Amino acid sequence: MGILARAAAVATILAAQACSAAQATPEYQVKVVLLDKLTRFVDWPSGGNPGRAFVLAVLGRTPFGDDLDAYFASHLVKNRPVTVRYLHQAAEVKDCDLLFICASEQARLGAILEPLKGRPILTVADSEGFAQAGVMVSMVRAGGKITFEVNLAPVRDAGFRMAPGFLQLVRIVP
């Protein structure tokens, strides 16, 4: 195979990977909607920041593709427009309302959560064991369905309130 043929093959593979990375799996399309629904059952301390956009930050290698941006471009959270930010380091977490922590951050989870203790940033993940490690809410698979696990200690420490009806439907973890 000549150099041009190899370069064309590599370009084709990279283009296919880029296209597939831009679209989330059906599971993550559902999880985008679940993130929106979750915000309806949570009250932020002091009502959040009603004067600015609701900031949803994603830390790590996003599994959502372009679906978060597309979905929240036409949906409000707490009657506010949504800004989606993609972060690569925990030090970038500043003024967000909801932080989705990707599975790629498992090794650094403790270092990510420590500076967030008591801050009004709702931490959310979708990896097994993350709620037990201190993430406030985790979307997990159970019996073929996606359900929520909630760790109430960090929720309360940060001053969040969750709807009692919501808490009856989730799994509370220590």
| Number of folded domains that form the chain | 1
Does 18 reside within a domain?
Answer: no
Residues of the chain with pLDDT under 70: 1-24, 47-50
For the stretch 4-24, pLDDT in tens is: 333 333 333 333 333 334 556
Q: Which of 59, 85, 61 is nearest to 72 (CA)?
A: 85
Does 125 reside within a domain?
Answer: yes
What integer best gives the mean pLDDT of the chain?
A: 86
Predicted confidence at residue 110, as pLDDT, reads 95
What DSSP string runs through the chain?
--HHHHHHHHHHHHHHHHHHHHB--HHHHHHHHHHHHHHHTEE-GGG--TTSPEEEEEESS-SSBTHHHHHHTS--BTTB-EEEEEESSGGG--S-SEEEE-GGGGGGHHHHHGGGTTSS-EEEE-STTTTTTT-SEEEEEETTEEEEEEEHHHHHHTT-EE-HHHHHHSEEE-
User: Whole-prediction pTM value?
Assistant: 0.83
CATH no. for residue 157?
3.40.50.2300
Does 162 reside within a domain?
Answer: yes
Does 83 reside within a domain?
Answer: yes
Does 158 reside within a domain?
Answer: yes
For the stretch 112-140, pLDDT in tens is: 999 999 999 999 999 999 999 999 999 99
Does 8 reside within a domain?
Answer: no
Identify the domain containing residue 112 by its residue range.
24-173
Does 19 reside within a domain?
Answer: no
Does 75 reside within a domain?
Answer: yes
Predicted confidence at residue 94, as pLDDT, reads 86
